[in-house]
Structure 1
Amino acid sequence: MASSAKEEILARIRGARVPAAAPVVRGYHREGSGGVELFAERVADYRAVVRTVTDVPEALKSLRGKRIVAPSDVPDEWLVDGVTWLREPLSIEELDGSDGVLTGCAVAIADTGTIVLDGGVAQGRRALTLLPDHHVCVVRADQIAASVPDAANPPEPTRPLTFVSGPSATSDIELNRVEGVHGPRTLEVLIVT
């Protein structure tokens, strides 16, 4: 029986022996909490403001005189005096008119300098972190995973995840960087040790 060219080509493809691909080696740091120093370095590479702190309320005193959105379940000690705290429910206009937002996070990734939000405790709804121009995110050292695979098991896998790697930015065809196009222009990360 004569075979068509198509059948012959498919037979060759099916019979081809493909050597096993070499494993991809990435510089993941799997021991410990993932490395506060590495996370801070990578976040700073994205033009974020990074501060390592031991006292969150003391660090938040820099927000005095501002109108800051805070999810309803942030720790009470974060709500320092001298700040006008805006609490949910808020309209889109109220969010947009604020000076910033203060949140926690679900997990952070040292290798990529990424913060993961899942709408859990101290994070609020997604719009809270997309509309205000300044996002202050509190990251505890024990929340820092070494790598993306290490962070792949979020506390609540049914929640929508938002991955934040620096302030919102985009570039046009000529690679002119514009910040604040689809999220906060300024990201400030407080790493609590």
Structure 2
Amino acid sequence: MSSRDAILGRVRRALADVRQDGTPPVPEGPGRDSWYDQVVRRDYLREHGDRSVGQTVDLLAENLADYRAIVHRCTDDELSDTLMRLLAERGSGTVLVPPGLPPYWLKAVDATRVHDRARSTPHELDRVDSVVTGCAVAVAETGTIVLDGSPDQGRRRITLVPDHHICVVRVPDQVVSSVPRALERLDPSRPLTWISGPSATSDIELDRVEGVHGPRTLEVVLVG
């Protein structure tokens, strides 16, 4: 008996005395998506308000800043110099590089490149000063950046362990208004990381502590 069979067996025994209603069971296999389309209501708003592209990007910048991310804007031609300046201001001697990061992004950067390797330990990643990545999509209404593990973003842990993360967002191609619009673009089978500002938490006294579960500093570069 597999672990799956054992768990499902326990669930069935626990539900043995529960009265059945008229809800059809969720099918397994190819029919699952069509079942959800028939049963799950999807008549909610896809986005709130009617905004232009420029207004959507401005809303993203505003909400990113509200979450204490540091927002920068530049053109594609200015991107390499912008990243050089941000890393220099941070004093970063090493920068972690995902395998598919466009080479010209860091052509002006003097910091030592550290490549993402499967054998890298958390302690090794913690010694890296900064990490630079792209993103999958950015959500304006929530100020959220989504990573999906694509080659320009690398594995999830390289954006969770280093203390400084610079994320590059293509404007307007990677910017959407709302979470439903973002979900339309994302593959749920990929390792999705949703980031709303730098990592932070608060204790019962509401004292904010940053850098608990990820980078203490998040900088977002909007490239248009």
The bucket for the TM-score relative to the shorter chain is 0.7 to 0.9
Structure with more contact order per residue of length (Cα contacts < 8 Å, sep ≥ 6): 1
The 5-angstrom pairing of residues 153-164 of structure 1 reads 153-164=184-195
Q: Pairwise mapping of residues 32-181 of structure 1 onto structure 2 (< 5 A)?
A: 32-33=52-53, 35-54=56-75, 55-62=78-85, 63-64=87-88, 65-80=92-107, 81-89=109-117, 90-141=120-171, 142-181=173-212
Q: Which amino acid aligns with 1:176?
A: D
Deviations 1:123-162 (A, max 9, x none): 0000000000000000011100011111112343310211
TM-score, normalising length: structure 2:
0.71
User: RMSD value over aligned CA atoms?
Assistant: 2.0
Q: Which sections of structure 2, spanning at least 5 residues, go unmatched?
A: 1-42
**TM-score between the two structures when normalised by the length of structure 1:** 0.82
Rg: which structure is higher? 1
* Cα drift, residue 26 of structure 1: 9.0
CA distance in 1, matches of 2:176, 2:144: 10
Distance 1:66 1:156, change over 3 A: same
Unaligned runs of 5+ in 1: 1-22
Report the 3-state secondary structure (helix = DSSP H, G, I; strand = E; otherwise coil) of the residue aligned with 2:146. strand
Please give the alpha-carbon distance, in whole angstroms, between the structure 2 residues aligned to 1:111 and 1:124.
26
What's 1:15 paired with?
none
Q: Could you report, residue by residue, the CA deviation over 1:54-100 in whole angstroms, capped at 9, with x for unpaired residues?
A: 12101111214521101011000012331111002133222110111
> How far did residue 172 of structure 1 move?
0.2
Instruction: Percent identity, please.
Output: 52
Contact preservation (8 Å) 1:30, 1:147? no
